[in-house]
Structure 1
Amino acid sequence: MPPNKMYISTVNHIGCTTRFLLVEPLNFKSKCPDCQAKIEKNEKWTISRLPCPLAQSHEDLACGIVIKPSNGHFKSYKLGDDLHIGISNSQGLIYSFWTKGIEIDTSKWENSLKILDFRAFFFENLNLLDNSMDFFVEIQRKMKKFDKSKYMENDWNCFDFVMEYMKFTNYRNYRSKIDFLEEFVTKKLENVVKYCMLFEKLSNK
């Protein structure tokens, strides 16, 4: 399993009521904290992976709106730090806007957070989603609305790019970025911070 994966599993076994948490890959030298039984790969042990809020593959990233820290990783993120936001197509390619203009990329978005899934809105028609994204970008490049020279960190940035796309598709027209953040970001971001703190705590045991 690649080292950047961030999975946490619950572990327990027959004959003991204690359930405990471990990060993956599991260390099979570990022992039950209650009865000291050694973890084994057999039917006596139950290992269940907790839902991970962060995208662990291109499939997890696909067809939605995703966010990540502007600098670093969610492991070191603190509430209030700057975020970068983008829109993903059906292949997990991320369209975003920053100092270099509109960028299409996927390599920099490992362990990002998908805050909205567009599949239901496009009635599972992924071609329609991809075409709308490409058409939107083509229009913006012709209009130079999101040219790199127009980028302003606080007044015309990646969040504006995403909200313009939502307006373009008639998904939603927000009065402010705060409304968008309250609906899609705040609660999920708090959950990610808690998950990462737990992952780090378990990793350093």
Structure 2
Amino acid sequence: MENSVIKFHHCEKDIYCFFVPEQCPVCGESLSSRRLQEAPVSIPSPFVNGQKIKCSFLVKPTKGTFLREYDGRSDLHVGITNTKGVVYNYNETGVCRDEQGWAQSVSVPLVQPDMYSLINQWDPYLEQFSLAEMWNPQRYNETDHNCYTYALTFINCVLATQGKRNLTKTEFTEKFVLPRTKKASRYITLYQEISENYFYIVDSSQQEDDNSSI
């Protein structure tokens, strides 16, 4: 279970940690609510439990989790959730329907909450799509007929039913996936730094200038 990241301000520094220490790690001064210029704030995690997110595109490491094993270069795996949080995903064994294993994922919502008609049709449509011959195990190819192909093809099928144009892999990735994975990458770096050194400390002025805060 991941720890919550907390940020507090002291010594003109922004200090990130899992808990507010008794003494400032910069100057050693005793910390109390009256000695802090601002109340500590919790940094929201970019990760969600995929089993609790419906009608979404999910990303997670093929092996392990983002905060523990992921090194920024490991392979990623993607899937689509139905309305019950079952994650449909495609690999060398064919289409899998996972009810667990996606507890730490990056999510891209695919349906607006008020799109009741589409939500009602989502599960049977996703199941029917997944039964197509093109998603047989024998068709799987790690390079050009993979989990991303499966997910994006389904998304484009949904767009087609709404009279909307298809998205290319580049378009979908750059517009919807990269903004979320970049935020996740910054959070992973922050989290791992705290795990190793207890604190992550930056100049407040520097953070404001480079807009690098999460």
TM over 0.5: yes
Give the 3-state SS of the residue equivalent to 1:188 in structure 2: helix
- Distance in 2 (CA, whole Å) between partners of 1:6 and 1:184 is 27
Deviation (angstroms), 1:186: 2.4
* Residue 72 of structure 2 is aligned to residue 63 of structure 1: no
List gaps (5 residues or longer) in structure 2.
198-214
- Distance in 2 (CA, whole Å) between partners of 1:172 and 1:68 is 27
- Is the Cα–Cα contact under 8 Å of residues 66 and 113 in structure 1 kept in the other structure? yes
- Distance in 1 (CA, whole Å) between partners of 2:77 and 2:85 is 16
List gaps (5 residues or longer) in structure 1.
none
> Which residue type is aligned with residue 123 of structure 1?
D
Which structure is richer in relative contact order (CA contacts within 8 A, separation 6 or more)? 2
Which residue does the alignment assign to 2:114?
Answer: 123
- Distance in 2 (CA, whole Å) between partners of 1:32 and 1:56 is 34
After superposition, the Cα gap between the structure-2 partners of 1:168 and 1:57, relative to the gap in structure 1 and judged at 3 Å, is closer
Alignment partner of 1:109 out of 72, 83, 102: 102
Alignment partner of 2:15 out of 11, 20, 23: 20
Give the 3-state SS of the residue equivalent to 1:137 in structure 2: helix
- Distance in 2 (CA, whole Å) between partners of 1:39 and 1:148 is 59
Which residue does the alignment assign to 2:124?
Answer: 134
- Distance in 1 (CA, whole Å) between partners of 2:99 and 2:24 is 40
Which residue does the alignment assign to 1:166?
Answer: 155
- Distance in 2 (CA, whole Å) between partners of 1:99 and 1:107 is 19
Q: For 1:13-42, what per-residue CA distance to the aligned partner results, in whole angstroms no more than 9, with x for missing partners?
A: 8xx86552212xx3x6542234522467xx
Alignment partner of 1:145 out of 134, 139, 143: 134
> Which residue type is aligned with residue 97 of structure 2?
I
- Distance in 1 (CA, whole Å) between partners of 2:175 and 2:7 is 30
Provide the aligned C-alpha RMSD in A: 2.9
- Distance in 1 (CA, whole Å) between partners of 2:155 and 2:130 is 14
- Distance in 2 (CA, whole Å) between partners of 1:174 and 1:154 is 19
The count of corresponding residues between Structure 1 and Structure 2 is: 189
Aligned-residue sequence identity (percent) comes to: 21
Which residue does the alignment assign to 2:2?
Answer: 5
Deviation (angstroms), 1:145: 1.9
> Which residue type is aligned with residue 20 of structure 1?
I
